[in-house]
């Protein structure tokens, strides 16, 4: 379900907007909570592990409103504006699912040097996955290049990472997993993202 206004989503019962300002690298997950599950968990843990800043919008279990990224505007959220003003570069964490791409991570966004940097930290710890940084190999709508997409608003812009269900622990392969919500692939992803954030020079 697509909702027309980011502001009205934020005002909806049960929706939580979270902002933690720390370092100049930021992690965002504004499709978090019940919408693109575990994206907020991944972004928050990676931010905490790297002393980076974090912004998330978490929807409750009974809500599934998708605001297109180019309509997630700081003009409609002072909290998001404060985050954008504080950070220099960001990683936005999204979830997606496409036939034939269940083990493919897409690294879009306008900062292509940062995308390659992040990919360089993810590939060694996620050998089960393809970490794609070539924009022409990504579905056009998942490339994260729109100028109003929040990933491109900080001074150095950023990377939009699209995660398939498997790495978020939302695949049938984890049906017998007894170790909690954070499956091993997710832990490795968080470690790789945090390492990339710590190693990036502003």
Domains of the chain as residue ranges with CATH: 6-199 (3.40.630.100)
Give the mean pLDDT of 7-12.
95
Residue 149 has pLDDT above 80, yes or no: yes
How confident is the model over 56-71, as pLDDT tens digits?
999 999 999 999 999 9
Q: Residue 47, SS3?
A: helix
Q: Which residue has the higher pLDDT, 3 or 64?
A: 64
Share of the chain above pLDDT 90, in %: 92
Write b or e for each residue in 4-26: b if 16 or more Cβ atoms lie within 10 A of its Cβ, otherwise e.
Answer: eebeebbeeeebebbbeeebbbb
| Token pair recorded at residue 30 | 């504004």
How confident is the model over 114-129, as pLDDT tens digits?
999 999 999 999 999 9
* Residue 141 CA from chain centroid, whole number: 15
77, 17 in Cβ contact below 8 A?
yes
Q: In sequence order, what DSSP letters do the residues of 176-189 get, joined into one string?
A: T--S-S--HHHHHH
Out of 53-67, 88-102, 166-180, which region has the weakest mean confidence (pLDDT)? 166-180
What's the predicted TM-score (pTM) here?
A: 0.96
């Amino acid at each position: 379900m697509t909702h027309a206004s980011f502001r009205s989503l934020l005002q909806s019962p049960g929706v939580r907007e979270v902002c933690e300002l720390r370092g100049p690298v930021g992690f965002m997950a504004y499709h978090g909570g019940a919408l693109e599950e575990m994206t907020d968990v991944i972004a928050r843990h990676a931010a905490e592990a790297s002393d980076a800043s974090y912004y998330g919008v978490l929807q409750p279990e009974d809500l599934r409103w998708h605001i297109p990224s180019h309509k997630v505007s700081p003009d409609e959220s002072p909290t998001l504006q404060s985050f954008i003003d504080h950070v220099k570069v960001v990683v936005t964490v999204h979830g997606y699912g496409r036939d034939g791409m269940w083990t493919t991570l897409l690294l879009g966004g306008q900062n292509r040097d940062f995308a390659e940097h992040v990919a360089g930290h993810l590939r060694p710890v996620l050998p089960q996955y393809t970490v794609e940084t070539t924009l022409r190999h990504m579905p056009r709508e998942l490339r994260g290049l729109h100028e109003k997409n929040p990933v491109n608003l900080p001074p150095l812009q950023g990377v939009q990472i699209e995660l398939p269900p498997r790495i978020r622990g939302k695949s049938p392969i984890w049906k017998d997993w007894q170790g909690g919500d954070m499956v091993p692939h997710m832990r490795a992803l968080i470690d790789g993202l945090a390492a990339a954030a710590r190693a990036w020079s502003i």
